Amino acid sequence: DGGITQSPKYLFRKEGQNVTLSCEQNLNHDAMYWYRQDPGQGLRLIYYSQIVNDFQKGDIAEGYSVSREKKESFPLTVTSAQKNPTAFYLCASSMGQLPGTDTQYFGPGTRLTVL
Amino acid sequence: AQSVAQPEDQVNVAEGNPLTVKCTYSVSGNPYLFWYVQYPNRGLQFLLKYITGDNLVKGSYGFEAEFNKSQTSFHLKKPSALVSDSALYFCAALSNDYKLSFGAGTTVTVRA
């Protein structure tokens, strides 16, 4: 899991609430990513950021928001608009160099459960 | 659009036997391919990657992968499996816009 930390490890949310998942890295990586993992579906990209103050939507961005105010931090907010937020959320980072040399390294994950 | 397929949901082998986890890909341009492993309730750990060059790539924990361009495959292999290799394995392909596309994963069980 290296130098990427995610908190909390487990998170419970009531319907209608927004929650924010934390992701911090001390690897001096430029690029950061958020993925959602559901059983039998692999990982799906929510948002990614290649540089501070810039981010792009991934494949399933609806109901989520992010910010990238610092290089080290890329928090993810799961809003009440997300219809089925119960999942395992993984943050990753990479150096942000040219594709093909850019290995993504993952944090330990946050398991979000909607009550 | 690119895609990655892992045709086997589960692979079961006895300890000491060879382990193979299959992966096929469909990408435009040069393929950049990765293998990751995930233990229960943990993040993904990087095992190895193929960029260019030798078709046989060696990685962590004794794993290797063979790139086959004609068959568009990137199978993960280990000559002698350990019980501790039991985990969920993901194959992934990297696109030019930094996006990783993942297969659905293969659960490996190594029995003692």
Query: Which amino acid appears at position A94 of this protein?
Result: S
Name beta bridge partners: B107.
B10, B88
Number of helical H runs and strand E runs in chain B: 0, 12
> Which residues in B lie closer than 8 A to residue A100 (C-beta atoms)?
30, 32, 51-52, 94
pLDDT at B100: 86
Neighbours of B67 (CB within 10 A): 20
What are A2-52's pLDDT values in tens digits? 599 999 999 998 888 999 999 999 999 999 999 999 987 889 999 999 899
Query: Is residue B5 within 8 Å of B71, Cβ to Cβ?
Result: no
> Which residues in B lie closer than 8 A to residue A51 (C-beta atoms)?
none
What are B79-95's pLDDT values in tens digits? 999 999 999 999 999 87
Query: Is residue A47 within 8 Å of A82, Cβ to Cβ?
Result: no
pLDDT at A48: 93
Distance between B15 CA and the closest CA of chain A, angstroms: 25
What are B33-42's pLDDT values in tens digits? 999 999 988 8
Distance between A100 CA and the closest CA of chain B, angstroms: 5
Distance between B44 CA and the closest CA of chain A, angstroms: 6
Residue of B nearest to A5 (CA): B43
Query: Which amino acid appears at position A58 of this protein?
Result: G
CA quadruple B42, B48, B50, B52: dihedral, nearest 10:
140
What is the DSSP pairing of strand B106-111 with strand B10-14? parallel
Report the distance separating Cα A64 and Cα B65, nearest Å: 36
Report the distance separating Cα B62 and Cα A27, nearest Å: 26
3-state secondary structure chain A: CCCEEEECCEEEECCCCCEEEEEEECCCCCEEEEEEECCCCCEEEEEEEEECCEEEECCCCCCEEECCCECCECCEEECCCCCCCCEEEEEEEECCCCCCCCCCEECCCEEEEEC
Of A33, A41, A45, the CB nearest to B104: A41
Of B51, B99, B103, the CB nearest to A100: B51
pLDDT at B33: 93
B104 touches chain A (CB under 8 A): yes
Three-state secondary-structure class, residue B2: coil
